[in-house]
Amino acid sequence: MREGTDRNPADGLEAWRRAAERELGRPLAQGERLLYTARDALDPGFPGQPPYLRGPRASMYAGRPWTIRQYAGFSTAEASNAFFRRSLAAGQTGLSVAFDLPTHRGYDSDHPRVAGDVGVAGVAIDAVSDMERLFAGIPLDQVSVSMTMNGAVLPVMAAFLVCAERQGVPWDQLSGTIQNDILKEFMVRNTYIYPPGPSLRIVGDVIAYLSERVPRFHPISISGYHLQEAGAGAALELGLTLADGLAYVQTALERGLQVDRFAPKLSFFFAIGMDFLGEIAKLRAARLLWSELMERFAPADPASKVLRTHCQTSGWSLTAQDPLNNVVRTTIEALAAVLGGTQSLHTNSYDEAIGLPTERSARIARNTQLILREEAGLREVIDPLGGSFYLEARTREIARQAREVIAEVESQGGMVRAIELGWPQRQVESAAARRQARIDRGEERIVGMNAFRSEDAEPLEVFSVDSSAVLGEQRRRLEELRRDRDGEAASSALSALSAAAEGGGNLLGHSVAAMRAGATLGEVSAALERVFGRHVAEARASGGVYGAAYQGDADFAALRRRLVGFAEQRGRRPRVLVAKLGQDGHDRGAKVIAAGFADLGFDVDLAPLFQTPAEVAKQAAENDVHAVGISSLAGGHLTLLPQLRAELDRLGAEDILVILGGVIPDRDHPALREAGVSLIFGPGTPILQAAKELLDLLEEA
């Protein structure tokens, strides 16, 4: 035996630990400890073999590359169609459709609640004719189509199927995915329509109908993406997503479907943020856990235990400050998705923290994937990181934490009951508030935003939509449709849909019949709403979390003293109503602002979602607030903010300030100030800065 070969490995590891801690001048943190505890990590196995930790296919990208999808929708079906056709010609291999907010929420474009949202954040779809224009000249038997749709999944999927019929494409030749993941909507994204019970029934009907009649189409994409975007860390995102998946499997089994009939068609959708190694480990842990969880249902087909996923680079990680840095961020995130073994990928454009992507930025985002696929050598090695001490240990740790999340959900009676109790929502909201505090304090450094800021960044071209023109055209087409269709046939089909909702029958099948008969998306949704009702969520924010991160902070304490002084002088604390306008349900920003302001000492009211300017103005006047803070993400601010200011003035509340925060291009600031907006805060504004500026105005009043 050669000298030294009988050395105890544990001794070497302990010596390394002591040396590292001497050099650092502190004990090793948990993530650093993973480097030397990794020898205890699980055996990663082989790609394409249970538990599929190293990938769902034995050859992975060496046999077939990931699908390049770019999530897009631009105002009208014609504009989106032109973008899709250019993208396919430029190397994109699948389509991913973004719908506008009225479509998500089940409203036709001429509904009075949605005037500021039509065509702004995606394509407006009111009828089968819009779907036909969207896919004109695109052979649906040759192109995979992914549709991010949940609340209005029935009329959208039905319109797609009827569109395929009119193209002459048999349904068994269609491939793609419909998101159909309603449970996460009740937690974070909020594009729900009906209460949880009926919504889960719809999910089951879609799975049953597509599994039988459209066999190549994935009937659900179980989404963690929006959980991360709302603030969840890797383990929380993963645990809640897989708990959602279990609920959907149980729903399908209760419908009498055999597990091997539908489970191989389930797909997932994860966000990929800037924790490069953590995101790789998360995707590996996802496959490991799903294989374990599906064992409960004793599938005979190994494919029933395989987790397949689409990934999208983070939108939340993009900064409005020095936005060209986002090209680098997206590249890092895309590389993590690929090394983690994704089946398809969308890369965000660098300007999405400012507005909708331009042609130039969308091309760079798509080319990011093409460069990774064609130039980086990633297709030459199957799972190149498998066996890394750190990565295997990190995978194990994320899996352990996610199991704890799943166990907590199950202890509460499953995901539907947990949502009703508000547990997952509170976990995500608290995580978002903690992270915002770390960023505001500079503990989490973001280049160009709170570290290494550039004062001479060049202004960017920002894409915008003429929403008034889109609204006018959609209204004209709806009027034409209702005039020319067989009204009696449409009415009869809608009545049959309502009857099925009250009794039995597959709701997607009845929705197909209604859309085929000329019904609109809004009419199909209303026929179901008459039976199920429309869900209204409780407005709340997690208090105490943001303030706890500022214990002992001099600036935080000084601002709190100013607020106490304001209350002593004026007889009450400053009161703010935090609200969103229109149909945008992304409420991370609103809830974090509400929580932070409350912890500082403001009286904070949080308005319900989906309010009109008139409704928000009425609540503000009745609650006698000093200011209304509007959180905007979806681009409707130029229409909705002037309406809010006018409504407040009409109610005699001219003294109530209007402040605005969110994705607001600089070029829109003059018009907004002209319309009476007192303060405008862009993405990345620290909460303490916003609070100070508002208090300055209130003290001057």
Give the residue numbers marked as catalytic: 71, 225-226, 580, 584, 586
User: How many angstroms separate the CA atoms of 652 and 82, rounded?
Assistant: 47
Give helix then strand counts, H and E, for the chain. 29, 14
User: How many angstroms separate the CA atoms of 635 and 552, rounded?
Assistant: 38
Handedness of CA 372, 376, 377, 381 (dihedral sign): negative
Q: Which residues contact 645 (CB under 8 A, 6 or more apart)?
A: 658, 675, 676, 677
User: How many angstroms separate the CA atoms of 544 and 61, rounded?
Assistant: 47
One-letter amino acid at 7 equals R
- Angle (CA) 623-536-312 rounded to 5° is 110
**Integer CA distances (angstroms), 56 to 187, 304, 391, in order:** 29, 11, 18
Query: Which residue, among 226, 126, 105, 76, has the nearest Cα to 611 in the 3D structure?
Result: 105
One-letter amino acid at 603 equals D
Half-sphere exposure (Cβ direction) of 204: Cα atoms closer than 13 Å: 23
Half-sphere exposure (Cβ direction) of 470: Cα atoms closer than 13 Å: 30
CA–chain centroid gap for 113, Å, is 23
Return the structure tokens found at 101. Answer: 């907010």
Instruction: Please provide the DSSP assignment of 390-404 as one string.
Output: HHHHHHHHHHHHHHH
User: How many angstroms separate the CA atoms of 597 and 58, rounded?
Assistant: 52
Half-sphere exposure (Cβ direction) of 311: Cα atoms closer than 13 Å: 29
User: How many angstroms separate the CA atoms of 59 and 55, rounded?
Assistant: 9
Instruction: Please provide the DSSP assignment of 461-517 as one string.
Output: --B---HHHHHHHHHHHHHHHHHHS-HHHHHHHHHHHHHHHHS-S-HHHHHHHHHHT
User: How many angstroms separate the CA atoms of 454 and 451, rounded?
Assistant: 9
Q: Which residues contact 423 (CB under 8 A, 6 or more apart)?
A: 408, 409, 412
